[in-house]
A and B are shown apart, each in its own frame.
Chain A
Amino acid sequence: MSITAGVEPPGTPPTLTAAPEGGPVHVSIPIWRLALRSFVENRLAVAGVVILVFFVLFSFVGPLLYHTNQVDTDIANTFLPPQPGNPLGTESHGFDVLGRLMKGGQSSLEIAFLSAVIATVIGTLYGALAGLAGGLLDAAMMRLVDVLLAIPFLFIVLIIATRFNASVLSLSLLLGAFSWLVPARLVRGEVLSLRSRDFVSAARVMGAGRWRLISRHLIPNALGVVVVNITFQVADALLAVSALGFLGFGLNYPQVSWGDMLSNGISYLLSGYWWLIYPVGLCLVLVVMASNFIGDALRDAVDVRLRRR
Chain B
Amino acid sequence: MRKVLSALWVAGCFACANAQNPSASAVSAKASAPVDFTGYWVALVTEDWRFRMITPHKGDYQAVPMTPQARKIADAWDPAADEAAGNQCKAYGAGAVMRLASRYHITWQDENTLRVDTDWGTQTRLLRFNTASAAGERSWQGNSVAQWEKPSSLKVTTNNLRAGYLRKNGIPYSENAVVMEYFDIAPLPGGGQVMLVTSIVDDPQYLLLPFIVSSQMKKEAGGEKWNPTPCSAK
The judgment on whether A and B are partners is no
Residues of B within 8 A of A (CB): none
